[in-house]
């Protein structure tokens, strides 16, 4: 009979949430095992491509000196596409290309590997190639560890932090999720496309380590969602995010939707001639606050995608920062509970308090209407044409006809797009209440 392995804390999943949690616990001097099912941290993880690491100031000051980033985002564009038109709002700031920076493009197999390495350096024990297959519970139902797919793979701990990603079977097993509804999820699919660095610099009008983040509305072949292009050093991340039930209810496959986006006259000149280096996909917990699970159980916390921490609010698309922050707060709360000798749900309540007091849940509460609004049929299918046609007529010189007034164009285009005044007013108000 093998000896029972017991540690203070088990963190399941060495993604951004798990590594942050493990770092905090290790720094408090607790024994912590960081389980990763991939052969190295980050090998299972995929995202659009931009990380906002400000929260790392608290965990790894001057992180930018060593973090494995591709480019600093100094230029952000929002594009609205119809079949033949494109309206782009473009912003750039040199400030974002210097410390303390804002956003950066990075590969997750690099980023997550680096963060996990920091946790290891602080004393966490990283165990790769090991899948947590379930929870260990005592007679009262309290979580006391996890089972793994290794021989004699049971692990015991005083607290388990589930950072096991969007599918979090551990959170589901613990009964922290209600009914799982596909409508709360989107599918992210992307191609990593190689181009020489100088070609990328030229096409996207950037230099050195500066990079571009382009978010696209209307480029998803009629499936509710959005598109994106991000510049890495010598590759582009080009992809789409697709609302699951809508994707399932039509005929185009995800890779065809990317191909259509890449063939759009406004996109093709940016991406053509590149060599596809990798094709990847991942599910995103899109619905924010409305889909979040209960965050604590007796002996267990949930953080990152496992707790549906992605912020998908149209102009703000963030996930890794919410994962790192929630992991960090989970680590702090777990350390506090271990110190007090009470890791029941009550003893772990410091976690939810921290989430509520910080941007993690405050942003989610403030923007709780955003995911539904951004993915709504009007925003997805009617407004792009209305906006693009309005702009086209504003800028068209139609001599000898005199210029029509902007109000008249907007009104006519609204009607042509089939948008009722009442709905436009309602969405405008919703938008103001959500983002204002």
- Of 268-307, which residues contact another protein (CB under 8 A)? 268-269, 272, 276-283
Q: Rounded to an integer, what distance in angstroms lies between the CA atom of residue 136 and that of residue 138?
A: 7
Q: Is 136 in the site for another protein (CB under 8 A)?
A: no
Calculate the CA 306 to chain-centre distance.
Answer: 12
CA distance linking residue 64 with residue 69, whole number of Å: 8
**Residue 305 CB, nearest approach to another protein (Å):** 11
Query: Tokens 């924010």 appear where?
Result: 288
> What CA–CA distance (Å, rounded) separates 141 from 179?
21
130 Cβ contact partners less than 8 Å away, ≥ 6 residues apart: 35, 36, 37, 148, 149, 150, 153
Check binding of 154 to another protein (CB under 8 A): yes
Give whichever of 28 and 264 is closer to another protein, judged by the CB atom: 264
Closest CA to 124 of 38, 13, 219: 13
Q: Which is nearer to another protein, 291 or 345 (CB)?
A: 291
Residue number, 269 or 346, with CB nearest to another protein? 269
One residue of 57, 138, 149, 202 binding another protein per CB under 8 A: 149
Taking alpha carbons only, the member of 51, 82, 78, 83 closest to residue 67 is 51
Minimum separation from the CB atom of position 143 to another protein (A): 18
Sign of the C-alpha dihedral computed for residues 13, 19, 23 and 25 taken in this order: negative
CB of 291 to another protein, least distance (A): 12
Site mask for another protein (CB under 8 A), range 330-369, x = bound: ----------------------------------------
Task: Report if residue 121 touches another protein, rule: CB under 8 A.
Answer: no
Q: Does the protein bind another protein through residue 46 (CB under 8 A)?
A: yes
Token reading at 321: 């920062």
Q: Is 107 in the site for another protein (CB under 8 A)?
A: yes
Name the token pair of 208: 């050195």
- The whole-angstrom separation of Cα 54 and Cα 431 is 26
User: How far apart, in whole angstroms, are the C-alpha atoms of residue 110 and residue 42?
Assistant: 7
Q: How many CA atoms lie within 13 A of 29 on its CB side?
A: 3
For residue 16, the minimal CB distance to another protein (Å) is 15
Binding characters for another protein, 165-204, by CB under 8 A (x = yes): -xx------------x-x--x-x-xxxx------------
> Which member of 58, 62, 66, 84 binds another protein (CB under 8 A)?
84
Residue 44 within binding range of another protein, rule CB under 8 A: yes
Binding mask 238-267 for another protein (x = CB under 8 A): ------xx-xxxxxxxxx---xx-xxxx-x
Cα 287 to Cα 195: distance, rounded to the nearest angstrom: 34
Q: Are strands 5-12 and 155-162 parallel, antiparallel or unpaired?
A: parallel
The nearest distance, CB 295 to another protein, in angstroms, is 21
Give the relative orientation of helices 320-340 and 359-366 as an angle to the nearest 10 degrees.
Answer: 130
The contact mask relative to another protein for 202-231 (x = CB under 8 A, - = no) is: -----------------x-xx---------
Choice from 125, 289, 349, 419 touching another protein (CB under 8 A): 125
Work out how close the CB of 178 gets to another protein at its nearest, in angstroms, rounded to a whole number: 15
| Residue closer to another protein (CB basis): 223 or 345 | 223
Residues in the interface with another protein (CB under 8 A) total 83
> What secondary structure letter does DSSP report for 273?
T
Stretch that binds another protein, among 127-135, 203-211, 340-348, 408-416 (CB under 8 A): 127-135
Q: How many CB atoms lie within 10 A of CB 103?
A: 23
Structure tokens at 36: 């990763």
In whole angstroms, the minimum distance from the beta carbon of 363 to another protein comes to 25
Restricting to residues 362-421, which ones interact with another protein according to CB under 8 A? none
């Amino acid at each position: 009979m093998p000896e029972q392995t017991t540690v203070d804390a088990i963190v399941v999943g060495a993604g951004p949430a798990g590594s942050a949690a493990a770092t905090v616990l290790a720094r408090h001097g607790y024994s912590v095992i960081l389980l990763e099912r991939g052969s190295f941290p980050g090998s299972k993880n995929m995202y659009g491509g931009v990380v906002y690491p400000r929260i790392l100031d608290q965990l790894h000051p001057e992180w930018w000196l060593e973090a494995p980033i591709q480019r600093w985002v100094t230029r952000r564009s929002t594009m609205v596409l119809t079949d033949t038109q494109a309206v782009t709002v473009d912003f750039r700031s040199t400030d974002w290309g210097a410390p303390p920076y804002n956003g950066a493009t990075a590969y997750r197999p690099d980023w997550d590997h680096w963060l996990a390495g920091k946790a290891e350096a602080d004393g966490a024990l990283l165990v790769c190639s090991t899948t947590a297959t379930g929870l260990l519970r005592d007679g009262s139902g309290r979580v006391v560890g996890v089972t793994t797919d290794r021989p004699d793979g049971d692990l015991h701990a005083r607290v388990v932090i589930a950072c096991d990603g969007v599918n979090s079977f551990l959170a589901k097993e613990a009964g922290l999720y209600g009914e799982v509804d596909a409508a709360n999820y989107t599918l992210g699919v992307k191609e990593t496309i190689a181009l020489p660095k100088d070609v990328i610099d030229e096409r996207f009008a950037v230099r050195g380590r500066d990079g571009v983040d382009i978010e696209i509305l209307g480029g998803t072949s009629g499936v509710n969602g959005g598109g994106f292009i991000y510049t890495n050093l010598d590759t582009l991340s080009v992809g789409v995010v697709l609302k699951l039930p809508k994707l399932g209810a039509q005929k185009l496959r995800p890779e065809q939707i990317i191909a259509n986006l890449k063939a759009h006259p406004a996109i093709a000149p940016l991406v053509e001639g590149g060599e596809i280096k990798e094709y990847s996909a991942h599910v995103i917990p899109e619905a924010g606050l409305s889909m979040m699970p209960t965050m604590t159980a007796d002996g267990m916390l949930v953080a990152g995608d496992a707790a549906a921490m992605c912020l998908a609010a149209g102009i703000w698309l963030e996930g890794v920062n919410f994962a790192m922050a929630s992991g960090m707060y989970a680590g702090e709360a777990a350390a506090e509970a271990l110190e007090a000798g009470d890791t029941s749900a009550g003893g772990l309540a410091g976690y939810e308090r921290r989430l509520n007091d910080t941007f993690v849940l405050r942003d989610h509460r403030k923007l709780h209407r955003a995911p539904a609004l951004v993915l709504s049929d009007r925003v997805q299918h009617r407004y792009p044409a209305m906006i693009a046609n309005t702009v086209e007529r504003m800028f068209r010189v139609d001599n000898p006809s005199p210029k029509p007034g902007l109000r008249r164009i907007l009104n006519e285009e609204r009607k042509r797009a089939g948008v009722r005044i009442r709905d436009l007013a309602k969405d405008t108000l919703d938008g103001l209440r959500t983002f204002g």
